[in-house]
Amino acid sequence: MKVSEILKVKGDILYTVSPDTPMRDAVDTMAERDIGSLVVMEFGELVGMLTFREVMKTLYQNKGSIGTETVRKHMDDHPISITPDTEVNEVRRLMLERHARYVPVMDAKTLLGVISFYDVAKAVLEAQSFENKMLKAYIRDWPAETDE
């Protein structure tokens, strides 16, 4: 299974911010939209990711306050990215290796979407459930042996 298949099911709603967005505004957007990440774009290019991990680090550094800085100071400015042709097993490996819960999907320099660890887990579970049903149906329809 490829990332493009997950994106088809997930849809194409994307939430982005610029690096100069105040952290307070970014956190408000994340809370209002009930999302765990924002893609940080500048001049039409991916420059970072802001996830709840960076928000929590910011709160910790500021002793419970979000502060007055911009997203640029707190974003992950070297996020891993994948392509629509990346196999899901490779995505799982990358996400586990890098402790990434959200990964941008890029086609050259064009942002196509964001895949979350939840999206990957759901896709794998659904694929395994389908395979399981097919195997059970195959076994149920197994031809009886004949004595010849």
Q: What is the CATH number of domain 3-140?
A: 3.10.580.10
pLDDT at 51: 94
| Residue pair 39/87 in contact by the 8 Å Cβ criterion | no
pLDDT at 22: 97
CA distances from 10 to 3, 19, 88, 137 (A): 10, 26, 14, 28
Judge whether residue 142 has pLDDT over 80. no
Judge whether residue 136 has pLDDT over 90. no
Percentage of the chain beyond pLDDT 90 is: 59
Judge whether residue 140 has pLDDT over 80. no
Question: Which residue type occupies 130?
Answer: F
Tokens coding 27: 């956190």
Calculate the CA 29 to chain-centre distance: 17
Q: Find the length of the chain.
A: 148
pLDDT at 29: 95
Q: In this predicted model, what pLDDT tens digit does every residue of 10-36 receive, in sequence order?
A: 777 889 999 999 999 999 999 999 999
Domain boundaries, the chain: 3-140
Q: Which region among 86-100, 116-130, 131-145 has the lowest average model confidence (pLDDT)?
A: 131-145
Which of 48, 44, 74, 47 is closest to 62 using CA atoms? 74
Identify the H or E element spanning 61.
helix 52-61
The pTM of the full predicted model, rounded to 2 decimals, is 0.78
